[in-house]
């Protein structure tokens, strides 16, 4: 998700506004540290207020000058560079960044590794690999007939029909478009992920 802009509500930036989770913390924090300055702190305070949470302190740490912002303050608190409090806030922010980046990378990697074949009941990793090895890619497998799929060792007619149905139901990725010219670029055969 893109980082919140100055006028963005932080609940909009993470896409988890109505995910069915409780609106309260299991163990309420005493402090919420926001990555950003005055606008981000104000947005976080508004979000907590809208949820009826008014007993948790909020502050923000602006990266450029490592200024600490508090809600409703026009000026930041400037802690000495050698301050243990500033060091703690920096560590909390840096750990939150590390966690978010790791989470996003794992989501992206999982999305890249996913295949329409993952949803075929009874098709394990070994037979999935055999299909990809035989046809060269999911794209080529998608074009195969049920009889051609049945020629792969270990794939019976029922499994072949399930594979064909799953691939027919899975929409292929949209073609790449050259934004400079507007022309549709040749689709590359990716060897197994589309």
* Tens digits of residue pLDDT in 132-147: 899 998 889 999 999 9
Which has more confidence, 103 or 20?
103
Cα gap 76→79, rounded to integer Å: 9
Query: pLDDT (tens digit, 9 = 90+) per residue, 112-123?
Result: 667 888 888 888
pLDDT score, position 65 = 85
pLDDT score, position 192 = 46
Which has more confidence, 94 or 119?
94
Compute CA distances 176 → 143, 186, 188, whole Å. 20, 8, 10
Which has more confidence, 14 or 80?
80
pLDDT band at 175 (very low <50, low <70, confident <90, very high): low
> Do residues 189 and 143 touch, judged by C-beta distance below 8 A?
no
Which helix (H) or strand (E) segment is 10 a member of? Answer: helix 10-14
Domains and CATH numbers, the chain: 10-112 (3.30.420.340), 115-194 (1.10.150.20)
Find, among 132, 153, 150, the residue nearest to 141 by Cα.
132
């Amino acid at each position: 998700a893109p980082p919140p802009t100055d006028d963005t509500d932080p609940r909009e930036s993470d896409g988890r506004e109505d995910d069915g989770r409780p609106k309260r913390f299991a163990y309420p924090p005493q402090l919420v540290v926001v990555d950003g300055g005055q606008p981000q702190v104000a947005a976080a305070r508004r979000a907590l207020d809208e949820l009826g949470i008014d007993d948790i302190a909020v502050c923000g740490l602006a990266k450029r000058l490592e200024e600490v912002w508090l809600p409703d303050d026009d000026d930041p608190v400037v802690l000495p560079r050698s301050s243990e409090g500033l060091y703690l806030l920096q560590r909390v922010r840096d750990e939150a960044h590390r966690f978010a980046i790791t989470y996003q990378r794992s989501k992206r990697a999982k999305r890249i590794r996913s295949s329409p074949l993952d949803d075929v009941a009874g098709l394990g990793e070994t037979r999935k690999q055999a299909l990809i090895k035989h046809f060269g890619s999911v794209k080529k497998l998608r074009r195969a007939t049920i009889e051609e799929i049945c020629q792969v060792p270990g794939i019976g007619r029922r499994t072949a029909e399930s594979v064909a149905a799953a691939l027919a139901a899975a929409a292929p990725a949209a073609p790449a478009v050259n934004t400079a010219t507007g022309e549709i670029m040749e689709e590359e055969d990716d060897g197994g992920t589309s």
